[in-house]
Each structure stands twice: as C-alpha cells, then as structure tokens.
Structure 1
C-alpha cells in the first residue's frame, strides 16, 4: 500500500473508483459520475487560485488498485487554510480505514492549522465520518446548486490543529 499524487495517467483507475462511490455522485450531484468528473478532479480549481495549490492524492493497494482518493486546495479559501474538496473510498474497499489513512497522510504532507470542507446536506451521513477524524460543524451554511440543477445546502466543517514550533 502506498500514497502518491494522482496524475493524468491514472485516469482509468480514478474513473473506476468514481463508479464505485456508494451512490455519492447521485446523492450530491443528482447524476452519476462520468469522464468529465475525472478531468475536474485532476484540474479544476477555484477562480483566482494557482495550479500549485491543487493537490490530488491516491491511496493505492498495489500498482493497479486505487482504494481511495483525495483532492485538497492549500491556502484556500484563505492563506493558512486547506480545503478538502473530496475524499472518497472505493465502495469495494469500504470499512478498511483507507479514507482515514489517506486523510492522516494529507495532514502530514500539507500541514496547516486549519482544515475545512463542505458536506452537502443530501450526503449528511458523511458528517459522522468527518467527526471521527476530528472535524466539527461550524455555523456556516452555503447555498449550492448541483450539476443537475438541484438546490442544496453545503454544511461547513472545520478541523483545527494546534501548531507546535
């Protein structure tokens, strides 16, 4: 098992993982994942950010088996904060701690005192996973429109990490 940055050559493995998503894409986006989601995962970033702020990592069981992936924007939405855009495990490997392992490695590789993410209300069952990792719901709520045009609410969660010098 190893964790490595995801690259364009990993497209087929990423697409396969996105197809085995516990129904995440339909719950959140209103439609199943497709090839454009792979491109978005590897290249999409918020306006005004630079490519070096976008980090995509995969947890590989072996050279051909991608068990989990994560996308993080560093120093976004403001300096000193990292934003988890996605952390997803392949449903065929769920319950084996791969998401936690990948998350722990992100904290090590991309140190920050503050980590934030959004859980879309239609995927609220994910809140307990994030709480087990130390995240807490904030009072922030943001309107969000899914790719299928469905109105949702994004619930913002935050993890504060005490910094040692």
Structure 2
C-alpha cells in the first residue's frame, strides 16, 4: 500500500497510460480499426481498476481479452505464412513483433483484471507486467527507433 493506493492500482494506472499512448500511435496504422479499440478498451479497464467487480467492466475486460487473443492468433498466422520474423522473435524493428507484443500485454493485463487470485499475487503480476512493458518500450525507443520498419 502506497499512500492509500495498492500496488495493483498504481500499476493499473501506469498500464492505462501505456495503452492510451499505444492507441494514439495507431492513428496512422492501416489496420487501426482493430488496434485502437483493443488499446482503448484496455485503457478503460485499467483506468477503472478499483471498480473491476462491476459487471460492465468485467464484460469489457473479457471482450478485450478475446480481441487480444484473436489479434495475436491473426498476427501469428500471417507471420507464419509470410515468414516475417517468427513466433518468438523480439526484433522490435518489425511491426509484426510490436503488434504481437502489444496484444500479449493486453491479454496479460486483462488476465490480471479478471483474476481469481490473492491480492499479493495480483500485485506481483501487475508489477512484473509494468516492468516488462515499460522496459521493452523504453529499449525500443532508445535502441531501435531510427531503424523501425512499418
């Protein structure tokens, strides 16, 4: 507990910010009609993190989770068929890798919000998600930003 806020809530706010930024980066993407709703709904679920027991928020989290799964599978199939980078590639210069990572982060976040676990596990899970997501994003912008492929 940090000043009345749990680790889970603070991390949810950080993830909401990251997903909101991700949604705004999709404005010039050719398939933005898929990604903006995914990131926007993930932003909403993470923003109302204290109200995750509300039925509407849980439904939105479930829909967001399944949209993330569908997009991850779509990307994996396209990648496999076109031989772009491979399923386990972490070459952040490739758009397919960034999109798979983004859908994976949304899926992970929604899993934590739809939890049936102890608060301590949720805190550690969300903290790990924040560290990994912000770490990867920072590394991408510092190391690969100039070499990015669209």
TM-score by length of 1: 0.28
TM-score normalised to the size of structure 2?
0.30
Q: Which one has more relative contact order, counting CA pairs under 8 Å at least 6 apart?
A: 2
More helix by share: 2
| Between structures 1 and 2, the one with greater strand share | 1
